[in-house]
Amino acid sequence: MTIAASYNPHDAETDEQLAYEREILSKGFFGSGTPEAQPRGFPEQGGDGDYSSDRGLSFASLSSGGSDHGGKPGGFRAGVRGFISDLKPAVKSIKSFVTLDSQIAKDLYDPNIFPEVAQTARVRRSAGIGPEEQAFLAKRKARVRDQFAKYMGWDPSAVHPDDVPTIAFGGSGGGYRAMLAVLGYSLAMKQAGFWDLLTYISGVSGSCWAIAAYYTFGAANMNTVIEHCKKRLSPHHPLSPDAIGKLLGSSRGDYETLGPLIQKQRSGLQTVPMDLYAVFTTGYLFMQPDPMLKPLTGAEAEIPGYHKSWWKWSEARKYLDDGSEPLPIMTAIRYVTLTDSP
């Protein structure tokens, strides 16, 4: 008996949304609007929701290791080369990918680039809340009490901190659409005074993009992130050839975009088609003007995540140590199908 049924995310889309996606794909990588034409490296979808492709960056080559990792010889590298070959106007050369692979292999163990490799990770195992979170809760509850009393129209002095409810907001997954939904809801909560009543803000997948942007380059300002998304999502779809071309053509764009794929594959983890969606969508969404290149215009003046500290949650502590913002909790889904033994 199968416990977890398969789920096709396209089932929830309207005919208009499906038509728009087909239009984007048909114009993007092959120049033909016929249904038979499929972009290299992007999936054909069967009736059961499974994806398969026998061209370019095949899903089999994505999930297999390279020749030096025990998988299909050259599968991953050959697949990515095939995908990049369809983006020749945006990529310096296919050879650059081989160079990129070698460079990342060295960078992964360079403590000057990734200081964490020289540190020893420690994991606290306990059924209770950690001391840092306990300290946060004490400070946050004091702030929430005043806002809770204001929201309810009460005198703050009449509200005991122990009577203040612990409220959390959770966002679902769904790519950049989930990201935009969380941004919109969060802005409305701020305008209504409800955001200041939250103790936790949580998300999964696309919702995490919104939370991450808010606590990093958004500097705890929802309007900053929303305005950034308005400029980034118009006029190009994140997976359109124009968007991908701009991303890969930006300063270090190939390194920052394709690098995570190589890093994941080298770590021994399975590389899957969704990784392509993730790196290209988030890479384009989070591109920022490089202050060192302000005199320039165009893609060369922007790079994805130029500020390394954006990628570290420790940077969010400036908003958390004093309890001024809700504590973010990032989650991920691991899809497991369980079957009974025969």
List the domain boundaries for the chain. 26-119+231-306, 131-217+311-331
Note whether 213 and 286 are within 8 A (CB).
yes
Helices 175-192, 206-215: inter-axial angle, 10-degree rounding: 50
pLDDT tens digits for range 77-113: 555 555 555 554 444 545 566 788 888 888 888 888 7
Closest by Cα among 251, 259, 261, 264 to 304: 251
- Start-to-end Cα distance in the chain: 10
Strands 167-171 and 302-304: unpaired
Query: CA nearest 220: which of 207, 229, 211, 233?
Result: 211
Query: Which two three-digit tokens encode residue 51?
Result: 């994806």
Per residue in 304-327, pLDDT tens?
655 565 567 777 889 999 999 999
3-state secondary structure the chain: CCCCCCCCHHHHCCHHHHHHHHHHHHHHCCCCCCCCCCCCCCCEECCCCCEECCCCCCHHHHHCCCCCCCCCCCHHHHHHHHHHHCCCCCCCCHHHHHHHHHHHHHHCCCCCCCHHHHCCCCCCCCCCCCHHHHHHHHHHHHHHHHHHHHHHCCCHHHCCHHHCCCEEEEECCCHHHHHHHHHHHHHHHHHHCCHHHEEEEEEECHHHHHHHHHHCCCCCCHHHHHHHHHHHCCCCCCCCHHHHHHHHHCCCHHHHHHHHHHHHHHCCCCCCHHHHHHHHHHHHHCEEECHHHCCCCCHHHEEECCCHHHHCHHHHHHHCCCCCCCEEEEECCCCCCCCCCC
Whether residue 63 contacts residue 52, with contact meaning beta carbons closer than 8 Å, is answered with no
Nearest to 72 by CA among 265, 260, 267, 280: 265
Beta bridge partners of 303: 288
β-bridge partners, 169: 201
Residue from 318, 293, 279, 297 nearest 62 by CA: 279
Residue with tokens 């409220």: 167
* Cis preceding-peptide flag for 342 (omega within 30 of 0): no
Query: Residues 183, 128: contact at Cβ < 8 Å?
Result: no
Could you say which residues of the chain have pLDDT below 50?
Answer: 1-9, 28-73, 88-91, 93
pLDDT score, position 54: 31
Q: What angle do the packed helices 222-232 and 206-215 form, to 10 degrees?
A: 120
